[in-house]
Structure 1
Amino acid sequence: MSWAPTGLKKLPLTLAILCVALGVVVFSTGLLSFNPDPRTWDTATERLTELVVIISLMGAGLKLDRPVGWRRWDSTWRLLAVAMPLTIAAVAWLGVAGLGFSLAMALLLGAAMAPTDPVLAADVQVGPPKSGDEDEVRFGLTSEAGLNDALAFPFVHLAILAAAGGLASTADLTDWFTVKVGWKLLAGAGVGVLCGLGFGRLVFRRNEGSARFGDGLVALAATLLAYAAAELAHGYGFLAVFICALTLRAWERDHDFHQEMHDFSDQIERLLMMLLLVLFGGALANGLLASLTWIDALVGLAVVFVVRPVAGMIAMIGSRQPMRERLLLSFLGIRGVGSVYYIAYALNHGDFGDSERLWAIVGFIILVSILVHGVTAAPLLQRLTRRREAETG
């Protein structure tokens, strides 16, 4: 984990690709006696992906130098308010019309495929705090990934409601809108602000010597406490963690301690990511894609190469960004660990019937995203940087 990123800089590979390949090789040899199939380890899959996502969200919030604002976050709001709902609707339609899924399973597929993953999208995100590596593409993808995991959750609950036959009930739909949408979002945001203010006061309102209180462990404490508090308040913990990070960063925005917290979160995130991707490679080696059909594969490719790019470009209509930046914001919507979490969560909390094909399609989409975005992201962003420097120089 320490050496590979440096060694891979000159190769068309990423750490994610290397970890998946390692998992495929190790589990194909039979050296390990268990099958890391998420369909078997459903609860463990939900909990492990949940942990790595919230740690990733803390890191994403801490690394954002730009203060929150309507105009400053224009790309973010566009991707969240337009691109994400369009993606959910388009993928759900493909699930019903193309795959023959029930409405409930199609909605679940759409909700799981909508968010840009905060874990696997690290290569296209902004740099560490105060690094200056925050162009509009990187900022838009980082801030989107920080918020859209929580905003996709109401649609996961809607899929669970559909699986239980609740879409025909006005009372159930009212409960979904008021509780799963309204209250949970407000509670998550409120808890995030309160936790961020509390940790900011604890860390930065002390003397200079104690501003290093706890070192990077403060980031882990803030992550777990914000998430737990939001869950106790029946809010969305993903939202609470990201907003806690933004609020904490707003205290003493230029303080060096933010770098320490970010670095600690980043190390924990990369360790957990490596574990998950090796296990994902093992699941691939043990038949995760066995149920995949040609139609399933075509729909999966359409999600990566058509649905998200088109939805992103529609969202960017009227934007002030140059066309090349709009294209990158639309194309680099990486799918990954967050999608696995949502599928595992929904299947553990609802009755969707046979999920073999669903897992196969999700696994295929994630694999395609890891390979395609992993190989193309760095060269595309480097080319964008060189072009911007040439124009300004």
Structure 2
Amino acid sequence: MTAVMTPVMAFALVGVLGVGAQWLAWRLRMPAIVLMLAAGLVIGPVAGLFDPARDIGPIMAPMISVAVAIILFEGGMSLDFHKLGDARAGVRRLIFFGAPLGWLFSALALRHVAGLDWESSAVFGGIMIVTGPTVIAPLLRQARLPRRPSALLQWEAIVGDPIGALAAVLAYEVVLVRHTATSASGAAWELVLGIGFAAALGAAAGYGLARAFRAGKVPEYMKVPGLFALLLAVFALSDHMLHESGLLAVTVMGVAIANAGLPSYDELRRFKEHATVLLVSGVFILMAAGLDLDAVKALDWRAGLFVLAVILVARPAAVALALIGTPVPGRERLLIAFTGPRGIVLVAVAALFGERLAALGVADGRLLGPLAFVLVAVTVVLHGFTLGPLARLLGLGGAEQPGVLLVGATRFTVALAEALKKLEIPVLIADPNHRRLRRARRAGLTAFSGDILSEGAESSVELVAFGMAVAATDNDAYNTLVATDLGPEFGRDNVYQTTRDKEENARHALPATLGGRAFGAAQTAEALEAKMIEGWTIGTSRLTEEFGFDDWRARRPQAVLLGRLGPGGALRFVADEAKVKSAPGTQLIALLPPEAEPAEPEAGKTPAH
């Protein structure tokens, strides 16, 4: 197809395909990056519907550069030093020892396996330090890793991106000195000055902005626009001083803001996360759509061996040596060693320096772009499908069945936790009052003593292991606060709370943007607790072909239906009985009156304690 799209149509196509691929991946429980790459390849080199260079033109390269800068900045904003905990030593080692070792081993693989000359190997080896925050973030979200390996992979990816770009700059400057009359001392001074300027500019911008926000110098509605404007200015100014140093500047700026203790930090970060989802989608589709298949086809069998050498030798060796002597357990080291997906920064920087090397007369420079894309494509697909299974094989992945977080240790929540536990659903009960947790501990349930919104909970509770949360304390305001705060973490549809005591009064009703979904047939925590004191129990009943939902309801006219566990293992708490599907194998979880009899042999009930 030779028709040229307008830039507006091209942007619309990329946006729809990017977000659509992420949504479809969520529905199919597949790695989103894989679908985005596939979508870009189909509309680009395969079908010829979209060619970024043709349909968008010269603005594509700067647009991708700005997008990568924003992605790195958002990643930097997630790097809070206070949340490192026991991952601190491992992060230092991966950055200060793992990065140079990765550069060395990657360069050796390029030289002796891919067959590139030393100049191209040194430049490309520096770029290969990066492990791609554009890829790692979605994979970590899907695999639900424990805190320490997740932090190690995330910090390595985000901090490694600008370091890798600067390593490539350093190697390129050395090559430039050899091929031109530029003095070695002049090139070294330019590099040091550029890196120092980028780091200082990023730190000054981050702390200066945080100070202005804290002092009330910027109104709330101007904070996000002001942040973006300063981000672009920092990136452009630093990149003007030294090419690719802008990535370092914006990363430092993000880290500075993350560690400034801003009251509005969460709102800023969440907005950035939303923007990053769009940018990651767009960048990957643009990258795949603009691929030159002829250049990739020109690669020989050495390219395949090179990719295998990087995945199976260079990456594991660098991680293993870097983490020697750290408290990181062997299973976590193994997971990190065999998890190294590359992302858009690798492709973008490799293509840039490949062109520059070719212009200097380095023949192998033209191979850097195709090699980078092949490495990205293979590692994205490989790790996209294997990270979760590998983590579970090593005992580090989240359970196949996401758990339930119950906030508030009452008779009702303890009985509900026991019923869920019998259905093999992981449960955690959290309560700030240590004495209230005695009943839960006597029942053999996992408990957390403390405020679930505290920093202590962030370092002690693996929230990624849970897919749903129920706030059921006797404090309606606290329940609303918990449900509102955990909404972005779990998803609004997966956060519930007991009905507020005065909700029917318009003067006390809260807007729909606050709190969680209705739970417990719209009964208050006090009413649910009163039923438990009266002798009500929580039981489960399995539906069959002969015993459907209507039969269960006829036998249990007074029962309070709480939730259902589908045949496929999906748990949902019920707010509207009319939407309950009477599928055979479904298990109903209900609050039963004292006189209720078991429905069938499989049914069980948990009495009050």
What TM-score do the two structures reach when normalised by structure 2?
A: 0.55
3-state SS, counterpart of residue 164 of structure 1 = helix
Between the aligned partners of 1:319 and 1:26, the Cα distance in structure 2 is: 47
Between the aligned partners of 1:152 and 1:22, the Cα distance in structure 2 is: 28
- Which of residues 220, 230, 245 in structure 1 aligns to 2:254? 245
Q: Percent identity at matched positions?
A: 22
- Stretches of structure 1 that go unaligned for 5 or more consecutive residues are none
Question: 1:31 deviation in Å?
Answer: 4.8
Contact kept in structure 2, 1:187 and 1:230, CA below 8 Å? yes
3-state SS, counterpart of residue 47 of structure 2 = coil
Query: Which range moved further: 220-229 or 26-35?
Result: 26-35
1:93-112 mapped onto 2 (5 Å cutoff): 93-112=108-127
In the alignment, does 2:239 pair up with 1:228?
Answer: no
Between the aligned partners of 1:134 and 1:206, the Cα distance in structure 2 is: 37
1:200-239 mapped onto 2 (5 Å cutoff): 200-206=210-216, 212-232=220-240, 234=242, 236-239=245-248
Between the aligned partners of 1:68 and 1:163, the Cα distance in structure 2 is: 40
- Which of residues 25, 40, 65 in structure 2 aligns to 1:8? 25
Q: Which residue of 1 aligns with 2:92?
A: 77
- Which of residues 312, 315, 318 in structure 2 aligns to 1:308? 315
Between the aligned partners of 2:312 and 2:145, the Cα distance in structure 1 is: 27
In the alignment, does 2:138 pair up with 1:119?
Answer: no
Contact kept in structure 2, 1:87 and 1:308, CA below 8 Å? yes
How many residues end up aligned between the 2 structures? 377
**Counterpart amino acid of residue 316 in structure 1:** L
Change (3 A) 1:269 1:288: farther
Q: Which residue of 1 aligns with 2:346?
A: 339
Contact kept in structure 1, 2:72 and 2:247, CA below 8 Å? yes
Question: 1:365 deviation in Å?
Answer: 0.4
Question: Which structure has the higher relative contact order (CA within 8 Å, separation 6+)?
Answer: 1
Contact kept in structure 2, 1:340 and 1:362, CA below 8 Å? yes
- Which of residues 27, 36, 59 in structure 1 aligns to 2:74? 59
Change (3 A) 1:260 1:222: farther
Question: 1:20 deviation in Å?
Answer: 1.0
1:1-393 mapped onto 2 (5 Å cutoff): 4-5=21-22, 7-9=24-26, 11=28, 13-27=30-44, 30-32=47-49, 34=51, 46-67=61-82, 73-124=88-139, 135-164=147-176, 166=178, 172-180=183-191, 182-206=192-216, 212-232=220-240, 234=242, 236-253=245-262, 255=263, 257-284=264-291, 286-350=293-357, 351=360, 352-353=362-363, 355-381=365-391, 383-386=395-398
Between the aligned partners of 1:67 and 1:226, the Cα distance in structure 2 is: 25
Between the aligned partners of 1:123 and 1:263, the Cα distance in structure 2 is: 15
Contact kept in structure 1, 2:177 and 2:184, CA below 8 Å? no
Question: 1:185 deviation in Å?
Answer: 2.5
Query: Which range moved further: 211-220 or 46-55?
Result: 211-220
Q: Which has the higher strand share?
A: 2
**Counterpart amino acid of residue 174 in structure 1:** S
**Counterpart amino acid of residue 61 in structure 1:** G
Contact kept in structure 2, 1:53 and 1:118, CA below 8 Å? no
Between the aligned partners of 2:146 and 2:198, the Cα distance in structure 1 is: 26
Change (3 A) 1:381 1:245: farther
Contact kept in structure 1, 2:93 and 2:323, CA below 8 Å? yes
3-state SS, counterpart of residue 309 of structure 1 = helix
Change (3 A) 1:321 1:349: same
Question: 1:290 deviation in Å?
Answer: 1.0
Question: 1:277 deviation in Å?
Answer: 1.9
Between the aligned partners of 1:238 and 1:160, the Cα distance in structure 2 is: 17
3-state SS, counterpart of residue 367 of structure 1 = helix
Question: 1:320 deviation in Å?
Answer: 0.5
Between the aligned partners of 2:139 and 2:107, the Cα distance in structure 1 is: 27
Between the aligned partners of 1:36 and 1:286, the Cα distance in structure 2 is: 15
Query: Which range moved further: 151-160 or 3-12?
Result: 3-12
Contact kept in structure 2, 1:112 and 1:339, CA below 8 Å? yes
**Counterpart amino acid of residue 302 in structure 1:** A
Superposed CA offset, 1:259-291 (max 9, x none): 222233223322232223223333457434111
Between the aligned partners of 1:44 and 1:163, the Cα distance in structure 2 is: 29
Change (3 A) 1:377 1:217: farther
Superposed CA offset, 1:94-113 (max 9, x none): 22222332221111220121
Question: 1:175 deviation in Å?
Answer: 3.5
Query: Which range moved further: 59-68 or 90-99?
Result: 59-68
Question: 1:386 deviation in Å?
Answer: 4.2
Contact kept in structure 1, 2:234 and 2:250, CA below 8 Å? yes
What TM-score do the two structures reach when normalised by structure 1?
A: 0.83
Q: CA RMSD in A?
A: 3.4
3-state SS, counterpart of residue 82 of structure 2 = coil
Question: 1:324 deviation in Å?
Answer: 1.4
Query: Which range moved further: 218-227 or 113-122?
Result: 218-227
Q: Which has the higher helix share?
A: 1
Between the aligned partners of 2:23 and 2:52, the Cα distance in structure 1 is: 31
Contact kept in structure 2, 1:80 and 1:144, CA below 8 Å? yes
Change (3 A) 1:133 1:283: same
Superposed CA offset, 1:23-60 (max 9, x none): 222235535264759xxx8x766434322221111111
Superposed CA offset, 1:170-211 (max 9, x none): x8433344431x32332222111110112112222118xx66
Between the aligned partners of 1:33 and 1:18, the Cα distance in structure 2 is: 17
